[in-house]
Amino acid sequence: MFELLGIPPQALFGQVLLGLINGSFYAILSLGLAVIFGLLNIINFAHGAQYMMGAFVAWMALNYLGLNYWFALVLAPVVVGAVGVAIERLLLKRIAHLDHLYGLLLTFGLALIIQGLFRNQYGSSGLPYGIPPQLAGGQNLGFMFLPNYRAWVIVASLVVCLATWFLIEKTRLGAYLRAATENPTLTQAFGINVPLLVTLTYGFGVALAAFAGVLAAPVYSVNPNMGGDLIIVVFAVVVIGGMGSIMGAIVTGFALGLVEGLTKVFYPEASSTVIFVIMVLVLLVKPAGLFGRPA
Amino acid sequence: MTDLATSEAPAGAALAETDDGTARLHRAILIGIAAALVVAPFVAYPVFVMKVLCFALFALAFNLLLGYGGLLSFGHAAYFGMASYVCAYTAKNWGLTPELAILLGTAVAAGLGTVFGALAIRRQGIYFAMITLALAQMVFFFSLQTPRFTGGEDGIQAVPRGKLLGLLDLADDRALYWLVAAIFMAGLLAIYRIIHSPFGQICKAIRDNEPRAISLGYRANQYKLMVFVLSAALAGLAGATKAIVFQLASLTDVYWTMSGEVVLMTLVGGLGTVFGPIVGAIVMVTMQNYLATLGAWVTVIQGLIFVACVLLFREGIVGVIAKTIRKPL
């Protein structure tokens, strides 16, 4: 087998794979943040907590209801999305007329509440969630061993990301959404129910986070703190990509996951900070973000 | 950008801030605070009061940036925590006297604030908050990965309180208290002076209408950076003092929850009021003391207070009082 700069290919490709998996979570989460920000003009700090809720719904469905992974994959986004709809209707709607930063503070408070409640109930040591039997095992590709589940995570995230892109950029509903993002008052004047669109958008963004949570459950253990640190990295991803473009969010997410994975191979000490360092560089060179429009 | 402090127009906005009655009232309050500082150690447990004072100074520093610079930083734990580490490390390993260790911690926080501030002010509003948060998280990971300097998960423990100027032994809580009270009062007066100086007025002008301030010839970014550095330095002063008081610097001080706590203190006390953060710090630290046994419920309660404040009580305690007596506080 060949070696690259003294790194065995097994380790290299293993980390690349893990990087791509993290990248898929970054992509789905930053996509959800961007969709929500576009229409509601708030940064959803509770996004990490909602991702964690997705993983927990999967765990609860399995342990309390006996529903397997595939049901959870549908159930968790629906349940957590419904919670999101309730949050938008009961709380966010009331502060929609205020400065956007209040939305950040409110969702930060929600994140603390959700995290605290789950930590009380389930502790912070993490709960195991098995890989679904259909996806157990892996393929030997000759140069590396590819676990089936990891391949599935990457494929599923790509499909969901591209489907979201298609929904927003190519369908009639997406056109309404883009119109409402551009000018809500005028869109409403054309007879489109913008408040409903706002609620559904928030619910959809939250559901995306929950979907990512279910995907993550077998890779990482199900833990009340799993979203807290992740969301800050996703914020950095969002700053790097800029929130102007859907495809931008997807590409940036995957690319940064990959970079993080490679850093883990070549300079492991920097792997947890590399995304922040890239953020600093992007701020210096192109403050609006790679895909952002200058304000 | 529109900002938090003015969109809710705390009572001060409509009233002339320089009228004599207000100045007299403020002077009376400052004297009242000084008097309370003298009495406090005799009626309350000194270490508790010192904790309140450290957090009150931290919240005052944060509010200087948000209330008067219009910039919401979600990463103030970085300056608080880093100053705390530097102070603890130098006092313990280099044997610096406490005043030098605190000054060094403050200076490092100011330096960090200069770098981070210059980066963060390149974006506005919500991006500013996210960038400051991300930069602070970078400091957290740095602290986590350099146990030789920070002690990793254990933190730096058993920091010697030392002798002030090499003369006055601070091991006694009462002796230390006077130092902390003096630092707090100096910080409060400095912030009060900054807010009411021409520099502070220009910062407020930029906060309220940046393009207009620029068109009047003010270099808005320089002012923003300066108020950022001042805020970071004062947050560092609070963090360094805390390291001496508790003889401990730990990862908690640089974690994002600490950044959230200082936001909450300011929100409860009253955004953009001079004295609000002090009240907020008193309320929150007292609450934490009583609820310490409840574990993770403290997080839930903090979250609930956050939500309640944003939905129902945006002016904060002092903001409501200011509105009632129709004078800016």
> Best mutation site among A88, A105, A234, A274 for testing chain B: the one with the most B CBs within 10 Å?
A105
Instruction: Please name the amino acid found at residue A2.
Output: F
Q: Report whether pLDDT(B323) > 50.
A: yes
The pLDDT score that the predictor gives to residue A38 is 85
The pLDDT score that the predictor gives to residue B4 is 52
The pLDDT score that the predictor gives to residue B77 is 95
Whether the Cβ atoms of residue B121 and residue B225 lie closer than 8 Å to each other? yes
As given in the structure block, the two tokens for residue B227 are 């108020």
**Chain A residue whose CA is closest to B124:** A295
Contacts of A120 in chain B (CB under 8 A): 295-297, 300
Contact B7/A at CB under 8 A: yes
As given in the structure block, the two tokens for residue A204 are 């959809």
Q: Report whether pLDDT(B97) > 90.
A: no
Could you say which DSSP state residue A64 is in? I
Contacts of A119 in chain B (CB under 8 A): 296, 299
The pLDDT score that the predictor gives to residue B18 is 57
CA A271 to chain centre: 19
The pLDDT score that the predictor gives to residue B16 is 46
Name the residue among B327, B316, B317, B325 with its Cα closest to residue B8. Answer: B316
Could you say which DSSP state residue A131 is in? P
**What is the sign of the dihedral through the CA atoms of A10, A11, A12 and A17?**
positive
pLDDT digits (tens, 9 = 90+) for A69-103: 999 999 999 999 999 999 999 999 999 888 888 89
Please report, in tens digits, the pLDDT of each residue of chain A (295 residues total). Answer: 455 566 777 778 888 888 999 999 999 999 999 999 888 888 899 999 999 999 999 999 999 998 899 999 999 999 999 999 999 999 999 998 888 888 999 999 999 999 999 998 898 888 888 888 888 888 887 777 888 899 999 999 999 999 999 999 999 999 998 899 888 899 999 999 999 999 999 999 999 999 999 999 998 889 998 988 899 999 999 889 888 788 888 999 999 999 999 998 888 888 888 999 999 999 888 888 888 765 5
Phi, psi of A139 (to 5 degrees): -110, 140
Residue with tokens 């992974």: A69
Phi, psi of A285 (to 5 degrees): -90, -45
CA B233 to chain centre: 9
- ipTM, 2 dp: 0.88
pLDDT digits (tens, 9 = 90+) for B171-229: 788 888 999 999 999 999 999 999 999 999 999 999 999 999 999 999 999 999 999 99
**Which carries the bigger pLDDT value, residue B253 or residue A243?**
B253
Whether the Cβ atoms of residue B70 and residue B207 lie closer than 8 Å to each other? yes
Report the C-alpha gap between B139 and B161 in whole angstroms.
Answer: 25
* B 110-149: CB under 8 A from A: 119, 122-127, 129-131, 133-135, 137-138, 141-142, 144-145
The pLDDT score that the predictor gives to residue A70 is 92
Whether B129 and A104 lie within 8 Å, measured CB to CB: yes
Sketch out chain A's domains with CATH numbers: 10-106+136-285 (1.10.3470)
Report the C-alpha gap between B100 and B78 in whole angstroms.
Answer: 20
CA angle (B304, A54, A139) in 5-degree steps: 150
Cα dihedral B40→B56→B272→B199 (10° resolution): 100
